[in-house]
Structure 1
C-alpha cells in the first residue's frame, strides 16, 4: 500500500493552521479561570466541552508511517446529547509551535468509523484503501475538558482559542495534557503570534509542535522520554534560497523547543544534550545563511540568555558525571580504599549538584519571559518569506557556500597546527576556535547534505567531526577540573585529572 501524493495534488486540502502552547506548570484546577482573565480573552464568554478522541490505525501503524491520523471524537456540551465527529488529518509543516495541516472533518451518526465520511479526502489516494479500512483498530485515546473562546484579531481576523486539560492513555500508560491551541479561523497568520505573545506575558508557555496523536504513539511505544535528534530536511535544489533557509532553520529550532518541552516531564540527560545541539545548530544555520539574511533584522534572543546558561551548566556536569569521569575511575582508585572513598564522595556531590541545576533549569523554563522569547523567534522565522528576493536557487548556492566553509576550516586546521608546533601562547585559544568552526561546519554540511555531492560531503563531515572530537576530548577533561574544584573535589582527584589532561593535550 502506498500513498500517492501526486495523485491527490489536485485536491485542495482544508487547511488547519494553529499555534500550540504547552502549559506544563499550570494548576489544572485553576488554569481555565486564569486564561479567561488574560487580555484580550477577558470578558469573552467561553463554552466548555468534554471530549473523547479515539485514534485508529492498522496493527502495522500504516497511517502513522504515512504521517496521517484518523480519529473519532465524541463531543458533549453540558446536558446536550453527545455527538460524534470523524476526522482525517495529513501531516503538514511547522516550526516553534506553528503547524499547518490538511484536515477533513465530518459528523457521523454513532461512535463507529464511517467509510463514506472519507470520500473527498486523501484516503482515496491510498492504494488498497478499501482493504485498509477493515484492518483499522483503536490504538489509543485522549480524554479532556476543552474550554473555547472566539477572539477577534485585527480588523477581519478571528482565532479560536482552545484550552485542553486531560490525559492521553495508551498501552496502560497515562500522560497529562494541558495545552492551548490557537487556531486561525480567518485572518493573517501573524495574528496567532500576536495573541500568543499576549498570553505568554501572563502565563508560562512552551511552543510545541507535538500533536496529541504523536503523543499517543510515543506513549504506546514507551518512547515519550526519547530525545528528538536532528532531522535535516530533503530540499528541492530549485527552491528559492530564502525559503530553504526558513525550512532548515525551522527544523533546527524545533529540535531545540521540542526537547525543552520533553525535559519538563522527563529527567533524561540526553534531552538536555539534544536541546543544546538544537540551539547550536540554529546558530550554525544563522551563520550558514548570513549572506542571505544580511539585510534582515536578526531575531532577539536576549530573553533566552538565562536558559542558555542553565542548559550549558547542566550539560557540562552531565558530561562530567556520565561520560568523561567514569573511564578514569578505576585508574585513579587502583585498589586504594582511600581513593575509592574520595571518588565515591565526588560521585555523590555531582549527583546532588546535577539535581540542583535541573531544578534551576525548570524554574527558568517556567517563567513567562522564556516562552515569550521562544515565540518571538518563531514569529521571526514565519516572517522570513516576506523578505524573499529574486535570489538563486538553493542548490547552487549551497554548493558554493559550503565549499567556502570547508576551505576556511582547512586553513584554520593548518594555522592551529603551526601555532602548536611553535608553542605559541595563544595556541590553545586558536585550537578552541578551530573546534568551534569544525562543529559549525559539520552542522552546516549536514543541513545541506541532500543538495550536495554524497561522497565528498561525507568526507568533509567526517573530517569536521574528527577535528571536533580530538580537540574536545582533551579540553573537556581539563575544564572539568575547573568545575570540580568549587564543588570541593579532593585535591588528589584534581591533580590526577589535570595530569591526564595535560598529557592528552600534549
Structure 2
C-alpha cells in the first residue's frame, strides 16, 4: 500500500555555539532522550526532485530504516507534506514511492534513476511535552551534513506539532526565549545539503516564486505569500550573521519591503490591532539597515566613477577611508538589530499572527467574504485599489520633488509585488498582459529607484564625511535630468499597459 500522507507542522530555530546546552537545561527538556540519526538524501542526476520542491531521504535509527518524502508548499506557514514508510534496508524502496510526489517523476521510479548526494549525522535530544491540549515534540539537533569531503555543522531547535493546534508551538517557543534568541529559519537540512554537495558558497536568498492559485481562499493566499516573505527575511538575516554580505543585507531589505507590500495588499482581510504594530516593527527593522545599504551604494558608485579609461579598477585604493569606517559602523548597527530580541520577537509575532491571528475569526461580512472566498476575487480588489493609488500619485511625475517621487516609488513597488504575488491567480487568462504590465512597472520602479539613490547619495556622503563634493553635485544634477526623462517614459508605458486582472473569464 502507498504511504499515507501527513502534514508536518514545525518551527525551526538556528542555535549559536553554547545555546544548545542552555536549552537542554530548560525544565521543558527534563527527562529528554538522545537518539543517533543517520539520513541519506537521494535525487536523480538532473535533480528532478529538488526542482519540484521534493526531498527524499532514508533514515536509520534504532536499527530501523524509514523512507521519507517531503514536499514544500503548503497553505500554512510551517506545514509540509510528508510520506513515511518503514523499509527493509538502506537503499530507497521505489515501490514505496508510489502515491507520493516523488513517484510522479519517471527518473525517480527507474532502477538506476536515484543517487545519494549527501548525509546528515545528527544526535537528537528530544522530549514530547503537553501544552494545554497540544502535544509538541521539542528536539535539539547537533551534528553535521557531509557531502564528499565537505562538511557543515547542524545546531538547531525544532518544535514539531504532534497533536492539537499550532498555538501550542508559539507558547512553547516563548518559554524558551531566555535560552536562545529564536532565530527562525525556513531553510531545510535538505536544501543546505544540496548547496553543500554542489560546492555553492553561501549566497543571498532572492525571493522565491509565489504560487497563489485562484481556487485558494484569500486566507490561504495570505499565508503562502507571508511564508515566502518571512523566509526571505529570516534566511538573509541568518546569512548576514555569518558574513557581512552586502547582497544579503539588500535582499533582507527587499524581504521587509515585500512583507509590507503583502500587508498592504491583503489589508481588506486583516482587521484588528496587530496589523499596524507589525507594519511599524517591519519599518523599524528596515530603518536599522538603511545606512548600511546607502553606504554600500555610495561606495560602489564612487568606485565605478574612479575607474580609469583603460578599464582598470583603481577605486578601492582611492576611496575615502571615512566611508569605509562609516560603513563598518552601519553594519555593526544592522547586526545588532538582527541579533536583538526585538527582531526575534517581531518575526515570531508576525508568524503567529499569520497562522492563528484574530483576523481569521472576524465576523464582519465583507471581511469574511474576501477572506474565505476565492483568492482571485481578493486579488482583483487589491490590484484595483493599489493601481488607482499609483495612478493618482504619479499623475504629474515630471514636476514632483524627490520626496514625492520617493512616495510614488513606494506605491509602484507595492503594486509590482502584488502583481507578482498573484501571478498565477488568474490562470492563463491575461498572461501576456500580466507580463507587459509587470515589466512596465519594473522599469518605472527601477528608474525611480535610481533617482532616489541619487538623492540619498549626497546626504550619505555629507553624513559620513562632513563634506559635499561640488563636482559630484554638478554631475548629479545632470544625471537627475536624464533619469527623470527615463522615469516619465516608463510611467507612460505603464499607464498604457492593460490591467491583466480584468482580462479573465469567471
Please give the TM-score of this superposition, normalised by the length of structure 2: 0.82
Which of the residues 26, 37, 43 maps onto 2:17? 26
**Cα offset, 1:11, TM superposition:** 7.0
Which of the residues 476, 479, 502 maps onto 1:504? 479
- Aligned 1:32-431 pairs, distance under 5 A: 32-38=20-26, 41=28, 44-75=30-61, 83-93=63-73, 98-106=78-86, 108=88, 110-115=89-94, 124-127=103-106, 130-131=109-110, 133-154=111-132, 156-294=133-271, 297-298=274-275, 300-301=277-278, 307-322=285-300, 324-330=301-307, 344-383=317-356, 385-387=360-362, 389-391=368-370, 392-417=373-398, 419-420=399-400, 427-431=401-405
Contact (CA 8 Å) 1:230, 1:252: kept in 2 or not? Answer: yes
Cα distance in structure 1, aligned partners of 2:268 and 2:77: 27
In structure 2, list runs of 5 or more residues that go unmatched.
482-506
Cα distance in structure 2, aligned partners of 1:295 and 1:97: 20
CA offset digits 1:257-294 (Å, max 9, x no partner): 22212222344221111111111011011111222224
CA offset digits 1:192-216 (Å, max 9, x no partner): 1111122134311211121111110
Query: Residues 395, 360 of structure 1: CA spacing in aligned structure 2 closer, same or farther, 3 A cutoff?
Result: same
Q: Which residue of 2 aligns with 1:5?
A: none
Residue 448, structure 1, aligned to residue 422, structure 2? yes
Cα distance in structure 1, aligned partners of 2:478 and 2:98: 70
Cα distance in structure 2, aligned partners of 1:382 and 1:171: 39
**Cα offset, 1:91, TM superposition:** 0.7
Which of the residues 441, 453, 464 maps onto 1:476? 453
Cα distance in structure 1, aligned partners of 2:395 and 2:47: 51
Contact (CA 8 Å) 2:212, 2:421: kept in 1 or not? Answer: no
**Cα offset, 1:54, TM superposition:** 1.6
**Cα offset, 1:474, TM superposition:** 3.2
Task: For residue 371 of structure 1, give the secondary structure of its aligned residue in structure 2.
Answer: helix
**Cα offset, 1:374, TM superposition:** 0.8
Cα distance in structure 1, aligned partners of 2:135 and 2:294: 46
Contact (CA 8 Å) 2:123, 2:143: kept in 1 or not? Answer: yes
**Cα offset, 1:224, TM superposition:** 5.0
Query: Residues 266, 142 of structure 1: CA spacing in aligned structure 2 closer, same or farther, 3 A cutoff?
Result: farther
**Cα offset, 1:456, TM superposition:** 2.9
Contact (CA 8 Å) 2:37, 2:124: kept in 1 or not? Answer: yes
Contact (CA 8 Å) 2:212, 2:423: kept in 1 or not? Answer: no
Query: Residues 499, 13 of structure 1: CA spacing in aligned structure 2 closer, same or farther, 3 A cutoff?
Result: same
Contact (CA 8 Å) 1:21, 1:97: kept in 2 or not? Answer: no
Which of the residues 7, 14, 29 maps onto 2:6? 14
CA offset digits 1:349-405 (Å, max 9, x no partner): 434433333343333323333222211100111125444723342223323432342
Cα distance in structure 1, aligned partners of 2:102 and 2:224: 27
Cα distance in structure 2, aligned partners of 1:357 and 1:313: 6
Contact (CA 8 Å) 1:20, 1:179: kept in 2 or not? Answer: yes
Cα distance in structure 1, aligned partners of 2:150 and 2:450: 40
Query: Residues 253, 36 of structure 1: CA spacing in aligned structure 2 closer, same or farther, 3 A cutoff?
Result: same
Question: How many equivalent pairs are there?
Answer: 466
Contact (CA 8 Å) 2:241, 2:335: kept in 1 or not? Answer: yes
Contact (CA 8 Å) 1:406, 1:460: kept in 2 or not? Answer: no
Please give the TM-score of this superposition, normalised by the length of structure 1: 0.82
Cα distance in structure 2, aligned partners of 1:204 and 1:306: 18
Cα distance in structure 2, aligned partners of 1:67 and 1:462: 27
Cα distance in structure 1, aligned partners of 2:238 and 2:127: 25
Cα distance in structure 1, aligned partners of 2:209 and 2:246: 23
**Cα offset, 1:95, TM superposition:** 9.0
Cα distance in structure 2, aligned partners of 1:97 and 1:261: 19
User: For structure 1, which segment, 380-389 or 244-253, has the greater mean C-alpha deviation from structure 2 after superposition?
Assistant: 380-389
Task: For residue 231 of structure 1, give the secondary structure of its aligned residue in structure 2.
Answer: coil
Cα distance in structure 1, aligned partners of 2:51 and 2:448: 40
Task: For residue 298 of structure 1, give the secondary structure of its aligned residue in structure 2.
Answer: helix
Cα distance in structure 2, aligned partners of 1:325 and 1:51: 52
Query: Residues 432, 306 of structure 1: CA spacing in aligned structure 2 closer, same or farther, 3 A cutoff?
Result: closer
Contact (CA 8 Å) 1:68, 1:88: kept in 2 or not? Answer: no
Cα distance in structure 2, aligned partners of 1:350 and 1:360: 15
Contact (CA 8 Å) 2:43, 2:108: kept in 1 or not? Answer: no
Cα distance in structure 1, aligned partners of 2:154 and 2:465: 42
